Amino acid sequence: MVSLKQLNYALEIEKTLNFKRAADRCFISASTLSNSILQIERSLGAKIFERDTKRVLVTPFGRLFLEKAKRVQLEMKDIAKLGDVFSGPLTQQLAIGVIPTIAPFLLPLVLPDLQKSYPDLTLKITESTSQSLVHSIKSGELDTAILALPFPQQGLLSFKFWSEDFFLISHRDRVSGGPGPVGAKEIDPEELMLLDEGHCLTDQALEICSIASESTLNTGASSLTTLVGLVGCNLGQTLVPEMALVPLVNANPELASFRLADPGPHREIAFLVRSNYANMASIELLRDFFFDCLSKARGKSSL
């Protein structure tokens, strides 16, 4: 009989492909880990891993076994959270992921009021790329994540709570026209600076503007703060979402912003969650709460 603990050991080896590192992450000795895997393999009559002194490989049988082990582990995590459902929404701990082009602008707007309204709620927040967060939701490491759509949801449910347009940010010395919206065709691709590869905001901006990635000025920047700083030095132009205008742009008299005139909204923001997640009421409550906070902020900024 294979135990849940043994399943967790096997899944840790799959992550690291190293018995010693997996043992350290499980807080056990390498020999204990090795013996546990041997017990599983003897019980099932097939090898999960091939290993020698240099590397560890997952066997074809091992791949099937580990896929089922992941589903079992996920179900056990959901079982552990069942008590949250009966104690009421937003009264326990939630692990939430947020992408970097949303986190620094959204969280300061909503977290203070959220903590006041739900003092029993404990948040564990992770900032990472969209693809990484989707993987963490599916593995059960996160309860939910806040992503910008469109983005492949890979079977997850989405709870949309906000829509916004992009704005072209330019140094005031480069401004030649009026303050009205600017069309994507008016943007010079050679002047446009975007985030480095791996950020969904870059992909969304390029698609809306019908610009090839190799046509843009490659800065290698990993944050919108850096890009806007470069624009402030008159090194080019960039695109930012509406929620970034107040903290990054409006307070700098050297910068000018122009709403992108092409049909929007240019991105939608949503909570992504597993379809069988046990505490769906908390996600729905968060969606409504975040919408209210952002609506108030938009009204104050007169956007």
| pLDDT tens column, 134-151 | 999 988 889 999 999 888
Distance of CA 94 to the CA centre of its chain: 15
Q: Model's pTM, two decimal places?
A: 0.71
Partners of 146 in the β-ladder:
98, 271
Give the separation between CA 110 and CA 114, rounded to whole angstroms: 6
The answer to whether 228 touches 105, Cβ cutoff 8 Å, is no
The answer to whether 166 touches 240, Cβ cutoff 8 Å, is yes
Read off the pLDDT of residues 68-105 as tens digits, 9 standing for 90 and up.
888 888 878 777 666 666 567 788 889 999 999 999 99
The pLDDT, as a whole number, for residue 301 is 64
The pLDDT, as a whole number, for residue 303 is 46
Task: Phi first, then psi: give them for residue 33, nearest 5 degrees.
Answer: -65, -45
Helices then strands, counting H and E runs in the chain, come out as: 11, 12
Segment among 182-186, 213-217, 263-267 with least mean pLDDT: 213-217
Two structure tokens written together for 137: 């939701």
Segment among 1-5, 164-168, 260-264 with least mean pLDDT: 260-264
The pLDDT, as a whole number, for residue 137 is 93
Give the separation between CA 115 and CA 108, rounded to whole angstroms: 11
3-state secondary structure of 182: strand
Strands of the chain (E only): list them: 49-51, 56-58, 93-98, 122-127, 144-149, 157-164, 166-171, 193-194, 217-218, 238-241, 255-259, 267-273
Two structure tokens written together for 69: 């082990």
pLDDT at residue 294 greater than cutoff 60: yes
Average confidence (pLDDT) over 219-241: 86
Give the separation between CA 271 and CA 222, rounded to whole angstroms: 23
| CA distance to 71, 93, 97, per residue, from 283 (Å) | 22, 12, 13
Tell me if 88-163+267-301 shares its fold with 166-259: yes
Report DSSP letters for 39-82, one per residue.
HHHHHHTS-SEEE-SS-EEE-HHHHHHHHHHHHHHHHHHHHHTH
Using the structure block, give the residue that is written with the tokens 């090839």. 212
Tell me the Ramachandran region of residue 154: left when phi exceeds 0, alpha when psi lies from -120 to 50, beta otherwise.
left
Two structure tokens written together for 156: 């997850």
Task: Give me the residue spans of the domains in the chain.
Answer: 4-80, 88-163+267-301, 166-259
Share of the chain above pLDDT 70, in %: 90
Which residues, in sequence order, are CB contacts of 106 under 8 Å at separation 6+?
98, 146, 243, 269, 290, 294
Instruction: Report, at the CATH architecture level, how domain 4-80 is classified.
Output: Orthogonal Bundle (1.10)
Q: List the one residue out of 111, 103, 125, 106 whose CA is nearest residue 222.
A: 103
Segment among 3-12, 18-27, 84-93, 194-203 with least mean pLDDT: 84-93
Q: Where residue 213 falls among pLDDT bands split at 50, 70, 90?
A: low
Between these two residues, 174 and 39, which has the higher pLDDT value? Answer: 39
Segment among 61-70, 158-167, 187-196, 274-283 with least mean pLDDT: 187-196
Two structure tokens written together for 152: 């492949």
Share of the chain above pLDDT 90, in %: 35
Fold of 88-163+267-301: D-Maltodextrin-Binding Protein; domain 2 (3.40.190)
The pLDDT, as a whole number, for residue 193 is 85
Between these two residues, 218 and 268, which has the higher pLDDT value? Answer: 268
Give the separation between CA 146 and CA 156, rounded to whole angstroms: 12
Fold of 166-259: D-Maltodextrin-Binding Protein; domain 2 (3.40.190)
Q: List the one residue out of 167, 96, 179, 92 whose CA is nearest residue 133.
A: 96
Between these two residues, 115 and 88, which has the higher pLDDT value? Answer: 115
The pLDDT, as a whole number, for residue 172 is 86
Average pLDDT over the chain reads: 86
Segment among 124-133, 190-199, 223-232 with least mean pLDDT: 190-199
Two structure tokens written together for 54: 């240099």
Give the separation between CA 242 and CA 249, rounded to whole angstroms: 10
The pLDDT, as a whole number, for residue 186 is 82
